[in-house]
Amino acid sequence: MEIILKYFSDFTPEQLAQFEALKGLYEEWNEKINVISRKDIESLYEKHVLHSLSIAAIADFQPGTQILDLGTGGGFPGIPLAIFFPEVKFHLVDSIGKKIKVAQGVADALELKNVTTAHSRVEDIKNRKFDIVVSRAVAPLGDLWRWSKPVLKKSAVPGKQFEKGLICLKGGDLAQEISDSRLKPRLVNVYDIFPEESFKEKFVVLAKS
C-alpha cells in the first residue's frame, strides 16, 4: 500500500480503506480461484494496482464517463480505476466466468456502486456504448481496436483530457504490433510516471480513430 501513497496522496478515507482492503480480498479469492500468480500476489500493489493507476496518472476521466474494461480478468485495471474515480461508471467484462466472479466479488466487498460486471465477450455487447475502453495486455493492439470500435460512442464527452478511444497497458517492443494495427497511438512509458524497476518497458497506449 505504501507504494500507492508514494505517488498519490489526495484520497478520501473511504478510498484509502478500499485500496487497503485489496490485498486481503485478492489473497482470499486467490485461495479459491487462481487469478494472480502466487509470486505476483506479494507485489499486488505495485504490479497490479499501481500499474492500473498509470492510466489515472495521464487521463482525467470526468464524472459520468462510461468506461468498458475489456478482458478484465480479476478486475484490472477496472477495480483500481473505479476506486480512484468514484463518479465514473465502469463495466468489467471477461469471457472466463471464474475470473469475472472474482472481479464481482471484490467489487461487492468494496461496495463499489460504480462497477458492473458481465461474463461476456466484447463482441456480444449489444445496444450499449462507452466513452472509453481500457484493457490490460489481453490481445494485440489491432484486435483490441477492432473489438473496441463497435462499442465506442461516436462523439466524445466534452472536456476530457483523452477523448473517445482505447487505452491499454502493454509491455515490451511494440513496434511490430503497432505497425500491424495500422494505428498511430500515443505511447507513454510507465517508468516515466512511476520510476520503479518493474515498469521498465511498460507502456500506456492511447489509440483513437
How many Å apart are CA 29 and CA 99, to the nearest integer?
10
pLDDT band at 174 (very low <50, low <70, confident <90, very high): very high
Name the percent of the chain lying above pLDDT 70.
95
Average of per-residue pLDDT across 172-182: 94
Q: Which three cell numbers stand for residue 184?
A: 498511430
CA 19 from chain centre, in angstroms, equals: 15
Quick one: pLDDT at residue 158? 53
Q: Which amino acid is at 25?
A: L
Query: Which residues, listed in sequence order, are joined to residue 136 by a DSSP beta bridge?
Result: 169
Each residue's pLDDT tens digit, 3-60? 999 999 999 999 999 999 999 999 999 999 888 887 788 899 999 999 999 999 999 9
Quick one: pLDDT at residue 185? 95
pLDDT band at 134 (very low <50, low <70, confident <90, very high): very high
> How do 186-189 and 202-207 pair as beta strands?
antiparallel
Provide φ and ψ at 10, rounded to 5°. Answer: -90, 60
Query: pTM here?
Result: 0.94
Q: Are the beta carbons of 132 and 164 closer than 8 angstroms?
A: yes
Quick one: pLDDT at residue 41? 87
Any binding-site annotation on 122?
Answer: yes
Any binding-site annotation on 24?
Answer: no
Instruction: List Cα–Cα distances, 95 to 33, 117, 138, in angstroms.
Output: 15, 11, 11
Quick one: pLDDT at residue 127? 86
Q: Length of the chain, please? A: 209
**Which of 48-62, 108-122, 145-159, 183-197 has the weakest average pLDDT?**
145-159
More confident residue, 42 or 107: 107
* Cα three-residue angle 51-90-177, rounded to 5 degrees: 50
Q: Cell 497511438 sits at which residue? A: 185
Average of per-residue pLDDT across 91-114: 97
Residue 160: pLDDT over 60: no
Please classify residue 172 by burial: count the beta carbons closer than 10 Å to its beta carbon, then call 0-12 exposed, 13-18 middle and 19+ buried.
exposed
Any binding-site annotation on 162?
Answer: no
Mean of pLDDT over the chain = 93
What does the DSSP assignment read for 7-47? Answer: H-----HHHHHHHHHHHHHHHHHHHHS--S-HHHHTTHIII
Helix (H, G, I), strand (E, B) or coil at 12: coil
3.20.20.70, 3.40.50.720, 3.40.50.150, 3.40.50.920: CATH of 2-207: 3.40.50.150
Any binding-site annotation on 196?
Answer: no
Task: Please report which helix (H) or strand (E) contains residue 70, including its range.
Answer: strand 66-70
Average of per-residue pLDDT across 79-83: 98
From 102, 44, 53, select the one nearest 74 (Cα to Cα): 102
Any binding-site annotation on 136?
Answer: yes
Quick one: pLDDT at residue 157? 53
Quick one: pLDDT at residue 106? 98
Quick one: pLDDT at residue 37? 82
Q: Cell 518497458 sits at which residue? A: 201
